[in-house]
Amino acid sequence: MITRKVGPALAAGCTVVIKPSEYTPLTALAVAELALRAGIPPGAVNVVMGNASEIGDTLLASTTVRKITFTGSTAVGKKLMAGSAGTVKKVSLELGGNAPCIVFDDADIDVAVKGTLAAKFRNSGQTCVCANRVLVQEGIYEKFANAFIHAVQNLHVGNGFADGVVQGPLINEAAVQKVDSFVQDAVSKGAKVLLGGKRHKLGMTFYEPTIIGDVEGGMLLAREEVFGPVAPLIKFKTEEEALRIANDTNAGLAAYLFTKNIQRSWRVAEALEYGLVGVNEGLISTEVAPFGGFKQSGLGREGSKYGMDEYLEIKYVCLGDMNRT
């Protein structure tokens, strides 16, 4: 996340000040150190640590800072956007998601399971583009659920530095409690735990890769971003119903769909109110494509030439006749 912001900023001729999350400071320090080793001039890449609100307020009030770019929660993004108004800063925001993953009856089961597995459980479900709701058409629901359960059962949980481990811990205890509360809310309202559903036997902040069946619209798992290794399965009947459910959110970052029908793929991709859409693919992020969302998932784009544009100003210069003496 840091390099996709710092890279285009430096290329555009800007200096940058990085304020990393207090939970993940070491990556930012490593980027700054590597920048120096690579020959980036001292002072071009800077890192500040400390109280997020105090540092944020200082940067927002500064007239030297011309642009704010932020990745994080929608709530904090709104505060930064409001705080930037005083000095009329340019703002780009990459905020929360509530990504739907739609599996149609005509999907290739193996492709759909593999893609959904990647979209949901990458980084233990802790990315803004992770599939948050898995919508499965009723004709393929049972077959997909059984195949998906089998695939998730084989996810090896543990220390990420160990061979074969694909599922690590959550970021902190608060994250574990949030995930567990979402699961309990769903169960209390009639959903079924098909796999997992509790803290992992490893303890600490590990949570079992989880699949919840019969999830409905009134449950937290269907309304809010869980940001953890929980896949809620939601049954639908028609394409129109799937689109209604998928778009029924203030978020609009990423969406996924699985179908072998090319006409449907274009039709649904166009109707989805999301900035990124994966068709028969669960890993869609790439530095050469514009990354960003609709609605309350943010402003602006990262990656591609559009990511460069976020750090540039447009200037018009009109030259008169320069030959007259």
Regarding whether 114 and 84 lie in a shared domain, the answer is no
**How confident is the model at residue 152, as a pLDDT?**
98
CATH number for the domain including 258?
Answer: 3.40.309.10
**How confident is the model at residue 220, as a pLDDT?**
98
317 in a domain, yes or no? no
Regarding whether 141 and 32 lie in a shared domain, the answer is no
Give tens-digit pLDDT for 84-125. 999 999 999 999 999 999 999 999 999 999 999 999 999 999
CATH number for the domain including 2?
Answer: 3.40.605.10
70 in a domain, yes or no? yes
Regarding whether 104 and 81 lie in a shared domain, the answer is no
Confidence of residue 325 (pLDDT cuts 50, 70, 90): low
323 in a domain, yes or no? no
Regarding whether 90 and 109 lie in a shared domain, the answer is no
- Count of domains in the chain? 2
- Please tell me the distance from the alpha carbon of residue 85 to that of residue 90, in angstroms, as a whole number: 9
Regarding whether 178 and 76 lie in a shared domain, the answer is no
Regarding whether 190 and 306 lie in a shared domain, the answer is no
Write down the mean pLDDT value for the chain.
Answer: 97
**How confident is the model at residue 322, as a pLDDT?**
87
pTM more than 0.75: yes
318 in a domain, yes or no? no
Q: Are 156 and 125 in contact (CB under 8 A)?
A: no
238 in a domain, yes or no? yes
287 in a domain, yes or no? no
The mean pLDDT of 57-70, rounded to a whole number, is 97
Q: 83: domain range?
A: 1-95+297-310
Confidence of residue 324 (pLDDT cuts 50, 70, 90): confident
The mean pLDDT of 43-68, rounded to a whole number, is 96
**How confident is the model at residue 62, as a pLDDT?**
97
Give tens-digit pLDDT for 287-323. 999 999 999 999 999 999 999 999 999 999 999 998 8
291 in a domain, yes or no? no
Give tens-digit pLDDT for 115-163. 999 999 999 999 999 999 999 999 999 999 999 999 999 999 999 999 9
The mean pLDDT of 249-268, rounded to a whole number, is 98
Out of 54, 94, 240, 281, which one is annotated catalytic? 94
Would you call 33 a catalytic residue per the annotation? Answer: no
* Residue % of the chain over a pLDDT of 70: 100
